[in-house]
Amino acid sequence: MAKKVLLVYAHQSSGSFNAAAKDAAVKALKAQGCTVEVSDLYAMKFKASATAEDITGEVQNAEHFRYAEETKLAWKAGKLAADIVEEQRKVTEADLIIFQFPMYWFTVPAIMKGWFDRVLTLGFAYGHDKRYSSGIFKDKKAMLSFTTGSQESMFSANGINGDMNVTLWPLQVLAPQIFWAPSHITTAARKTMLEAWCARMQGLLEEEPLTFTPSDCFDGEKGFQLKPEFHEKHANKEFGLTSGIHLGKPLPPYNQMKVGV
């Protein structure tokens, strides 16, 4: 069956490098027979802020409004705002989600953060028994594709911005496609960047995800700490498990940028 791809895209200008990267991805994926949907957030004037208006009709507790709990109830009752429902449909149908954006202040632009906050609601996207490797998205893939303003060297473990693996830790799944500072290079070099991106697209749907620690390695009875057997198993290893679950060891190099490390 044809694979479905959702491309969540956040740039204001059709003349941007981000637009070119988005267009290249759509073309390469369609050429492989994939179905591609694009959520062009600025063009959609996507609402970024999580408010009571995201629930149709009365909320449960207006006095002490709690976004996660109210959207969970609304999701169950089919009372979420139409734009959220539409994005959730796209997420449900997608085999792969690509987020295309320029990095703003070390993470996604606010409009895309709003997509995370409003679309990935409690109940639909996560819950006490649904998270990480036991989450509802465990059979889907997601990846970041983004541009930076800074050079690559500035985002290393001894560069002025610090290690990009640490910056990316809270964000992702498949290895990211990083376009380092395209505004500082020649048109020819930008074209080469796009060609590499198109080439990667050929095998993207079969790519292995980055290394994460499966959630059943943690003990829910003991504050979701790593179970002793995994600690012991890893005791003589040089590096931590991941950038976040580092066990006080050096971080595994490229853990958030390359597969298999």
Residues 19-58 that bind a copy of itself (CB under 8 A): 41-42, 45-46, 48-52
111 binds a copy of itself (CB under 8 A): yes
User: Cβ–Cβ contacts within 10 Å for residue 14, how many?
Assistant: 12
> Quick one: which of 86, 247, 258, 261 contacts a copy of itself (CB under 8 A)?
247
- The answer to whether the Cα torsion of 82, 84, 87, 89 is positive or negative is negative
Is residue 114 a contact residue for a copy of itself (CB under 8 A)? Answer: yes
Does residue 180 touch a copy of itself according to CB under 8 A?
no
Q: How far is the CB of 3 from a copy of itself (least distance, A)?
A: 26
Give the residue, chosen from 8, 71, 243, 257, that forms a contact with a copy of itself under the rule CB under 8 A.
Answer: 243
**Residues between 131 and 150 with contacts to a copy of itself, criterion CB under 8 A:** 131-132, 149-150
**Least distance from a copy of itself to the Cβ atom of residue 146, Å:** 14
In angstroms, what is the minimal distance from the CB of 85 to a copy of itself? 18
17 or 197, CB closer to a copy of itself? 17
Read off the tokens for 9: 């895209």
Contact call for residue 189 and a copy of itself (CB under 8 A): no
State the Cα–Cα distance between residues 54 and 81, nearest whole angstrom: 5
Those residues whose C-beta lies under 8 Å from the C-beta of residue 183, and which sit 6 or more positions away, are 17, 147, 149
Question: Which range binds a copy of itself by CB under 8 A, 21-29, 72-80, 198-206, 217-225?
Answer: 217-225
Under the binding rule (CB under 8 A), the answer on residue 190 touching a copy of itself is: no
143: helix, strand or coil: strand
Q: What are phi and psi of 19, to 5 degrees?
A: -65, -40
Instruction: Select from 92-100, 136-144, 187-195, 220-228 the region that touches a copy of itself (CB under 8 A).
Output: 220-228
Q: How far is CA 198 from the centre of its chain?
A: 20
Number of residues that bind a copy of itself (CB under 8 A): 75
Q: Binding residue for a copy of itself (CB under 8 A) from 33, 78, 203, 248?
A: 248
* Long-range pairs for 165-170: beta carbons < 8 A, 24 or more residues apart: 165/243, 165/251, 165/253, 165/254, 165/255, 165/256, 165/257, 166/243, 166/251, 166/256, 167/106, 167/107, 168/144, 168/243, 168/256, 168/257, 169/242, 169/243, 169/244, 169/256, 170/107, 170/244
